[in-house]
Structure 1
Amino acid sequence: MARTRYVVAVALVLAVAGCSGDSSPLPAPTGPPTATATSPATKAPDTACNPRASLRPSGALPKPGRMPAGSWMAEIQKRGRLILGTSQDTLLFSSRNPFTGKVEGFDVDMGRQVAAAIFGNPDKIQIKVIGYDERVSAARDGSVDLVADTMTANCERWADVHFSTVYYEAGQKVLVSTDSPAKSIEDLGGKKVCAAAGSTSYDNIATVRSQPAPVAVAKPAFGDCLVAFQQNEVDAISTDDTILAGMAAQDPYAKVIGPKFTEEPYGMAMSQDHPEFTRFVNAVLERSRADGTWKATYEKWLGEFGPAPAPPAAEYR
C-alpha cells in the first residue's frame, strides 16, 4: 500500500525524539526535596469515586515567588523548576519539535501555566519524557511533580494518585487506512488494533462487543503504533480522537472513523502526598478557564479542528 512510503519520514521524527528530556537549559538543581509521609487523609476515596471531581482550591492563588512555607509549591520554588512528566510523540499535545528539539503542545502548556503561577515564568520547567505505562508511577513516587500526558482520570488511578479537575474532554475513536470499508471499531473484528501499553485506550479495545473481537496489540507509545500501521503490521490504531487527529495529519493515507465509544476526561496527575499542590493546580486551572488562557491554548494547538469549545467545568469532592 502507498502509505508505506511514509515510514521513513515518521521514523526520522521518532529518531529525533529519541533523546531523553527537553533540550532547553535548566537552572542548577539544589537536589530533590524529600517527600513527606502520606497520611490517610490524603488518600483517594474508594472505587465509588467520581473521577472527574478533584480537591477544591483553598483560596486565591499566592503571588508568584511567594509560595506558602511548608507547601510542595515552596519546595518546587526552592528547587528552581517544575518537573513535568509527559510524552514526546503525541502531536499537538506533547511532541518534540524537530527544528528546536523542545517538547511542546497543549499538555505542555498546561504544565507551563503551573510553572508560571509558581515562579512568574513559564520557562521554569523541566520536561521529563516518560512512557505511557509510567505515568501513574512517576506521579506517585514523586519523580515528577506533575504529569500532563493525555491521561484519563479514572477511579482505578485515583487509588494511586491525585488528579486535577478535568482540563480536556476527549473520546476514543479509530484510525484506519483510507481504503478501509470500516465505519467503526465494531467493523474490525479479528483485525489487529494498536494502542499504547499502559493506556486506557488499550484496555478499551477489549470491551468492544463484536464477533470476532478486535485483536488488541500493545506498543510502547502511539508513535510506535503509527509506524506499525504504516508498515502494515496492524490494521488500525485506537485511542483518543485528539491523538488520532495528529496521526492523520502526518499520513494522507489514513483517516479517523466512527463515533466516540468512550469518554476520556483528561486530568493532570500528582502525588497524593501533597494535597495542597493538587488544590493549587486546580486554582491555576480555575483562573485559566476564567481569564481566557484555556481558550487561547486550545486555539494555539487545536484551532484547526474548529472554534474552541467551553472548557470543561470543574467538579469538586
Structure 2
Amino acid sequence: MKKLIAASVAVLMTVTACGSGAYDATVIPPKPQPKAAAAPVAPAPCGDTKNPLRSYAPENVSLSSPTLKKIIERKRLIAGVSADSLNLGSRNPISGEIEGFDIDMVKAVAKAIFGTDVGHLELRVISSPQRIPVLQNNEVDIVARNMTINCVRWQQIAFSAEYYHSGQKTLVPRDSTAKSTTDPELDGQTICAPAGSTSLDNLQKVNPRVKTITADTDTGCLVLFQSGKAYGISGDDTVLAGDAAQDPYAKVLKEKAFSAEPYGLGINKDNTDFVQFVNQVLANIKANGEWAASYKKWLEPALGKATAPAPVYGR
C-alpha cells in the first residue's frame, strides 16, 4: 500500500511539473557480452584535440553584444529547465515555483542582465531529449538541466564553463543486496535511464548485461521504478539523491561514481558572446559565495561538501 502511495505522489509531481507525461516503456535488451569489471566512463576525446571542458573566456563582455541586446529588447531571459528533478529543478508543491540548484544558476544570469530575475526570467519545462533541439531552434536562450559537457554535444551547441561536477551511480530497492552497478544481482534486471542522456550510454557500457528502459524525465524513471516496470534507476548522483528522498523504499548504491559528469549551461553554438557573458556570471557567483550558498541549500544535505569547479577556457 505504501509503495502505491509513493507511486501516486510521483505521478502527481509529474502532472504539476508540466512534464511530458511520456512514460511508456522503451526496453532495450541486454547485450550478450562477457562480464567485466567496471571502469570509470570518461568523456570521449575531442576530435579537434580540445578539452571538452574548455569554454570561451569572459573577455570583452558587454550588454550591448548581439545576443544580449536581443534578450534585453525582449525584456526576459528564456531558460529551458527541469521541473521534476528534486533539488536541481522541481516545482515546489506549496508555492508552485520551480526551484533548485540549476534554477539558481539561470536566476544569477537574469540578475546580471536586468538587475533582478523577478519578471525577467521565463522558465520553460523541457525533457532530457529536448535540451539540444530547443537551443538549436532558438526556442530558449539557455538550458540549465543537469547537462553533461562532452565533445559530441559541442558539435551541436556551446557550453558555459563547468558549474558542477557530478558522477553516475545506480538506485535500487532498499532490500537489494547489490553492491555496485556491475553486481551479478543486477544481471538481466531492467534499469531505467533518461532518454537522450549520457546516463543511458554509460550504463550500457558499464553493465551490458542489464536491460535498459528509458523515460523522457527523471520522474518518468521514478514512476517506472515505483510501478515495478524497472528494478532500478541509473543516473547522476544529484538526480538519484532527489529520487531517494521521495521514496523510502529506494536507496542509492554506495559505490564509487563510474562516470564523470561535468555540468555546463547549454547555449546556441552561434551565441559565443552570450557564452562569454554567462562565464563571467559563473565566475562572479563562485567568487562572491552565491554558488556555495546555493549548493549548501540544495545539494550538500544529500551529497556532502563540495567546491565549485575551476573554469577552463581557451576555446
Please say whether Structure 1 and Structure 2 have the same fold, judged by a TM-score greater than 0.5. yes
Deviations 1:111-166 (A, max 9, x none): 01000000001221000111100101111221100000000000000001110000
Shift of 1:311: 0.4
Partner SS state of residue 239, structure 1: strand
Distance across 2 between alignment mates of 1:254 and 1:307: 19
Partner SS state of residue 49, structure 1: coil
Distance across 2 between alignment mates of 1:205 and 1:12: 28
Distance across 2 between alignment mates of 1:221 and 1:136: 15
Write the letter of the residue equivalent to 1:179: D
Distance across 1 between alignment mates of 2:11 and 2:3: 13
Tell me, yes or no, if the aligned pair for 2:89 and 2:102 is still in contact at 8 Å.
yes
Change (3 A) 1:91 1:110: same
Distance across 2 between alignment mates of 1:71 and 1:5: 51
Distance across 1 between alignment mates of 2:195 and 2:215: 6
What is the Cα-based RMSD across aligned positions, in Å?
Answer: 1.7
Map 1:181-220 → 2, pairs under 5 A: 181-187=177-183, 188-209=186-207, 213-220=209-216
Distance across 2 between alignment mates of 1:275 and 1:264: 23
Aligned to 2:74: 79
Structure 2 residue corresponding to 1:230, chosen from 217, 222, 226:
226
Partner SS state of residue 205, structure 2: coil
Shift of 1:307: 5.4
Write the letter of the residue equivalent to 1:3: K
TM-score (norm 2): 0.86
1:315 partnered with 2:309? no
Shift of 1:305: 2.9
Partner SS state of residue 122, structure 2: strand
Write the letter of the residue equivalent to 1:287: N
Aligned to 1:23: none
Change (3 A) 1:199 1:53: same
Shift of 1:3: 2.8
Distance across 1 between alignment mates of 2:283 and 2:56: 12
Shift of 1:47: 5.0
Partner SS state of residue 293, structure 2: helix
Write the letter of the residue equivalent to 2:215: K
1:305 partnered with 2:302? yes
Deviations 1:27-62 (A, max 9, x none): xxxxxxxxxxxxxxxxxx845331111000114x55
Distance across 1 between alignment mates of 2:210 and 2:49: 30
Write the letter of the residue equivalent to 2:111: A
Aligned to 1:276: 273
Map 1:1-317 → 2, pairs under 5 A: 3-18=3-18, 46-59=47-60, 62=62, 67-68=63-64, 70-123=65-118, 124-187=120-183, 188-209=186-207, 213-257=209-253, 258-305=255-302, 308-317=305-314
Distance across 2 between alignment mates of 1:229 and 1:89: 15
Write the letter of the residue equivalent to 2:283: E
Shift of 1:297: 1.0
Gaps in structure 1 of 5+ consecutive residues: 21-44
TM-score (norm 1): 0.86
Write the letter of the residue equivalent to 2:226: Q
Tell me, yes or no, if the aligned pair for 2:241 and 2:303 is still in contact at 8 Å.
no
Shift of 1:13: 1.5
Distance across 2 between alignment mates of 1:16 and 1:139: 24
Tell me, yes or no, if the aligned pair for 1:295 and 1:308 is still in contact at 8 Å.
no
Shift of 1:14: 1.4
The share of aligned pairs that are identical, in percent, is 42
Write the letter of the residue equivalent to 1:8: S
Tell me, yes or no, if the aligned pair for 2:170 and 2:232 is still in contact at 8 Å.
yes
Tell me, yes or no, if the aligned pair for 1:195 and 1:221 is still in contact at 8 Å.
no
Distance across 2 between alignment mates of 1:280 and 1:127: 19
Tell me, yes or no, if the aligned pair for 2:18 and 2:125 is still in contact at 8 Å.
no
Tell me, yes or no, if the aligned pair for 1:2 and 1:253 is still in contact at 8 Å.
no
Distance across 1 between alignment mates of 2:50 and 2:218: 29
Tell me, yes or no, if the aligned pair for 2:300 and 2:306 is still in contact at 8 Å.
no
Partner SS state of residue 110, structure 1: helix
Partner SS state of residue 182, structure 2: helix
Equivalent residues, number: 285
Larger RCO, structures 1/2 (Cα 8 Å, 6+ apart): 2
Distance across 1 between alignment mates of 2:264 and 2:296: 19
